[in-house]
Amino acid sequence: MAEPSVIAGIDINNEEVQICIYDDEAGEVKSAPVGASSQKCIFPARLLYFPRTEKWRFGTEADFFASQKDGVMISDILALTEKQEEVFVGPGQNLTTAEVMAELLRQTLAVAGVKNPPVQLRSLCVTVPEVTVNLVKILKEAFAQLLIADKAFFQSYDESYYTRALAVKPDTFRNKAGMFLFDRENHVSFQVLTLYRQTKPATATVEEAGKLTLPDVTEEKDSALLDFAKEMMGNELYTAIYLVGQGFDRKWAPFSIAWLCQQGRRVFQGDNLYAGGACYAAKERISAKKALDGYLFLGSDVLLQNVGLDLLKDGKPVYVPLITAGSHWYEAGGSCEFIADTPGKVEIRVDSLEKNSRTDRIMELEGFPDRPPKASRLKITAAYDRPGECTLTVEDMGFGELFPATGRKWTETL
């Protein structure tokens, strides 16, 4: 059997889907087109299901066949994940939102030639505008249904922006990149990616600096965009500028583009920034030599604290981590078993990178069995169910035949 070979990134929002594949020979990402003779690489995020034949149509094909009366169109798929309701697809037929998401991913991968995801995929990253609690649950279930749970993960748009900007040659990145994001309603926002090299590891943030509504008159857009760019960027040095979104056309922006290209800035136009960033993230996840080693993205999904225990091993003090700073809240978790020095109490150590401080927290185990010191084996598990809430669970494992396990559990939220 051939080894899995495909590294992919998928961008999903409520309206559109896009997929990029990593080209090993070229050392870059490439977008999969809508069709063999098409230059377009963005697909409508829609599925059309025919209950009688159990056939699916996706993207532009779904729109083309939508007039057929026996088909059921499914749109607003990302929004459906927040409702967590079943989707009607025919008489007596309902699908869960996880099943719909799995089908959307299956169809998107097939466009890029990935017909058998468990066999063909090496790594997949799905990027979305925002990682929510419900979306975490749905995507994990969808990955499991496609049998790619061990190869697939997800991240936010902000992190994909960071990955796309730094992954190729991070050493050449000065300190800032800028992105102008255009929508179809003449709105443009400016997002700044800032890299702080004075910290170890070097840290990066993404922030929205401002918004503008461009004039409806095409001839006036260039001047408005140029003034907005000068206001947003000032005299700061930018490594790269990205012009993203279907509301932008270089034909009406010659003076803006000419100004943006000054001072050695690299200017990129295209719509695959997020999908491309996700694809580079997928490559980074499996690479032995990681391009982003020594860098930490400080996004809203990234944890800025270590949670663990100070214990003794062979009479020597050791630190046992449960949660590691720099990991995503939806991936973070750990457990360990230990002998409790003091019955009915567990001391938790929390180190904050943000405040550069340490806090020791005592977890009281109410109703714990009456036992002498060092006569209780406990299992502690730490995990995040949602951002900002670390749940600690302690289970009584007993201590041999002398003190049988009660199986009792205690839970507390940090």
For residue 284, being part of any structural domain is answered with no
Q: Which among 390, 281, 266, 269 is positioned nearest to 325, based on CA atoms?
A: 390
For residue 381, being part of any structural domain is answered with yes
- Judge contact between 247 and 217, C-beta under 8 A: no
Q: Pull the structure tokens for residue 75.
A: 């749109």
For residue 300, being part of any structural domain is answered with no
- Judge contact between 375 and 403, C-beta under 8 A: yes
Q: Is the same domain home to 226 and 255?
A: yes
CATH code, domain carrying 349? 2.60.34.10
Q: Is the same domain home to 234 and 350?
A: no
State which residues form the domain around 144: 6-156
Q: Please count the CA atoms within 13 angstroms of the CA of 70 that sit on its side-chain side.
A: 7
Q: Is the same domain home to 80 and 134?
A: yes
Q: Is the same domain home to 78 and 131?
A: yes
Q: Is the same domain home to 28 and 137?
A: yes
For residue 287, being part of any structural domain is answered with no
Read off the pLDDT band of 1 (50, 70, 90): very low
Q: Is the same domain home to 210 and 134?
A: no
Last residue within a domain, chosen from 108, 128, 156: 156
| Segment 116-159, tens digit of pLDDT | 999 999 999 999 999 999 999 999 999 999 999 999 999 999 99
At residue 53, the pLDDT reads 85
Which residue has better confidence, 271 or 197? 197
Residue 153 β-bridge partners: 125
Last residue within a domain, chosen from 95, 130, 156: 156
**Strands 240-244, 176-182: pairing kind:** parallel
Q: Quick check: helix, strand or coil at residue 280?
A: helix
Q: Is the same domain home to 146 and 189?
A: no
Q: Is the same domain home to 148 and 182?
A: no
For residue 215, being part of any structural domain is answered with yes
What are the residues whose beta carbons fall under 8 Å from the beta carbon of 144, sequence distance 6 or more?
A: none
Pairwise CA distance, residues 33 & 95, whole Å: 29
Residue 351 β-bridge partners: 306, 358
CA angle 303, 171, 6 (to 5 degrees): 70
For residue 1, being part of any structural domain is answered with no
CATH code, domain carrying 226? 3.30.420
For residue 402, being part of any structural domain is answered with yes
- Judge contact between 212 and 187, C-beta under 8 A: yes
Q: Is the same domain home to 263 and 339?
A: no
CATH code, domain carrying 55? 3.30.420.40
Q: Is the same domain home to 368 and 232?
A: no
Mean pLDDT, all residues of the chain:
90
At residue 38, the pLDDT reads 47
Mean pLDDT for the stretch of residues 99-119: 93
Read off the pLDDT band of 289 (50, 70, 90): confident
Q: Which among 284, 302, 288 is positioned nearest to 123, based on CA atoms?
A: 284
Last residue within a domain, chosen from 131, 156, 181: 156
What are the residues whose beta carbons fall under 8 Å from the beta carbon of 368, sequence distance 6 or more?
A: 343, 344, 376, 396, 408
Q: Is the same domain home to 44 and 101?
A: yes
Pairwise CA distance, residues 304 & 332, whole Å: 12
For residue 281, being part of any structural domain is answered with no
Region of 186 on the Ramachandran plot (φ > 0 left; ψ -120 to 50 alpha; else beta): left
- Judge contact between 92 and 122, C-beta under 8 A: no
Please name the residue that has the structure tokens 């000419």. Answer: 258
Long-range contacts of 367-373 (CB under 8 A, 24+ apart): 367/408, 368/343, 368/344, 368/396, 368/408, 369/343, 369/396, 369/403, 369/406, 370/343, 371/343, 371/399, 371/403, 372/343, 373/340, 373/341, 373/342, 373/343
pTM given for the model: 0.89
| Segment 351-360, tens digit of pLDDT | 988 778 899 9
Question: For residue 344, which amino acid is it?
Answer: G
| Segment 25-79, tens digit of pLDDT | 878 888 887 554 445 678 899 999 988 888 899 988 888 888 877 888 999 999 8
Q: What is the DSSP letter of 3?
A: P
At residue 71, the pLDDT reads 86
Sheet holding 316-323, edge to edge: 316-323, 305-313, 345-352, 357-364
Task: Name the domain count of the chain.
Answer: 3
Beta strand spans in 91-148 (E): 93-95, 121-128
Q: Is the same domain home to 136 and 179?
A: no
Q: What is the DSSP letter of 251?
A: G
